[in-house]
Structure 1
């Protein structure tokens, strides 16, 4: 019950997406650009910088969310001085077919990878927060030679940690959907099958060879801290570091952005893992 009350309060308090013109005003002097790519029947929307840097930082948001979850990182001089950045609206959110969920981790990975193929950098670093975590993990599994490294932030990657929550069945009804904000309806549609998706990914973890850092709060009530231990188990050779942040909740990109920036620079400074 505490969790659903928290989620309702979050829906009231948070604006999960902003339009591109508002983003430009927010970023003021930053030359942010926007793009759309049709992948199959899906429009994929994204925001990016084009400073001709050698390394592209790829931000993938959680559930619900949009590319603008990472808008403050586009202001960070410590990133702009060295990296280009891209943040993608995951399928069903923002302007990537808003309201139409994509439950398949494999398909989400494919759609986002198609977007990234437009950016001819050999050095690309994946950052996934929350449900963005298994998405970027699937990208590293399916496209092992295309990414330099990966940072998992409070990632929902362990299938055993995905519990059956009674209210999700309520939302997944006509009446429940009517009273649920659209962002949360889409979120529900991709979280309901997530446990099976994560089980299907279990044999694929050995395909991840790129250096990885995990950042996890010890007081995360949405994604249990045991997910960090799962990463240690599944990535014995490629896991560089696990940062357990004491007394920190799920919202690390907003409360502790410096931890993510530090991890980006650590991965970027490491040796190239390209064959």
Structure 2
């Protein structure tokens, strides 16, 4: 009996320590990085981006721009929840892609470093912000890329672009998962434990399902050529989101790229497949 008690004690201690380490590790990798950290990461890759702060409707956001050649098309990246402009650094620093396109990536409101503003938890607001970023670009030489919660933002933008690329897009309210841990953000006893960046993500998550319903019947107003890249084993944003879109759009307009076995973090884990689709879109 004493051995069992000792074993349980060690097991509980191990689980508690693992929880604490997991908490701080996840926070470290998801917290927004400073300007200096971002520039140093690009510098290590031999790239000098243009980092600026822009204003939209009184909200300030951070934007990264890489101009490889002014005559090339531009890819504009929209990150998910939690996410940042650095989510796409692998693509923005790729030497093959750099020969074919310029890049813009930005931190959505609420996800900037030391952001004094909260996320607006509104696809319409995010769409309008995206359109303000692309307004000075040549539309037919612009490719908008939306990952995860960035997917519906890109899809809601009906400007006439060269292409719209969705990666694991969270667009269908009927299959939106409800994760128990979001309640930690809701409960007054535990809310204080949640870092600000996670609170922004929780706010978006809690309103996303209802917000999606406003667009359910108007996704098809987007007349661009659309590609949706999705993993079949994605439990955070189920593959059925892309299957739903496949039913909504004409075959000649919409292409579904299915990655068997891929999960939600495919922008990192399935880099080569996604890069290949980017290159095809740029041709």
- TM-score, normalised via structure 1 length: 0.86
* Residue 203 of structure 1 pairs with residue 221 of structure 2: no
Q: Deviations over 1:176-218 (max 9, x none)?
A: 3211122211001011111111111012112111111111111
Q: Distance in 1 between matches of 2:79 and 2:114?
A: 13
Q: Tell me the equivalent position of 2:4.
A: none
* Residue 22 of structure 1 pairs with residue 37 of structure 2: yes
Structure 1: where are the runs of 5+ without partners? 270-275
Tell which has more relative contact order, 1 or 2 (C-alpha 8 A, sep 6+). Answer: 1
- 8 Å Cα contact 2:246/2:254 also seen in 1: no
Q: Tell me the equivalent position of 1:138.
A: 156
Q: Tell me the equivalent position of 2:5.
A: none
Distance 1:103 1:77, change over 3 A: same
Larger Rg: 2
Q: Tell me the equivalent position of 2:119.
A: 101
Offset at residue 166 of structure 1 (A): 3.8
State how 1:238-253 maps to structure 2 within 5 Å. 239-253=253-267
Q: Distance in 2 between matches of 1:120 and 1:55?
A: 8
- 8 Å Cα contact 2:59/2:117 also seen in 1: no
Q: Distance in 2 between matches of 1:187 and 1:15?
A: 11
How many residue pairs get aligned? The number is 260
Offset at residue 63 of structure 1 (A): 0.3
Of residues 85, 93, 98, the one that matches 1:75 is 93
Cα RMSD of the aligned pairs, angstroms, is 2.2
Q: Tell me the equivalent position of 2:147.
A: 129
Offset at residue 120 of structure 1 (A): 4.7
Q: Distance in 2 between matches of 1:202 and 1:10?
A: 37
Structure 2: where are the runs of 5+ without partners? 1-18
- TM-score, normalised via structure 2 length: 0.84
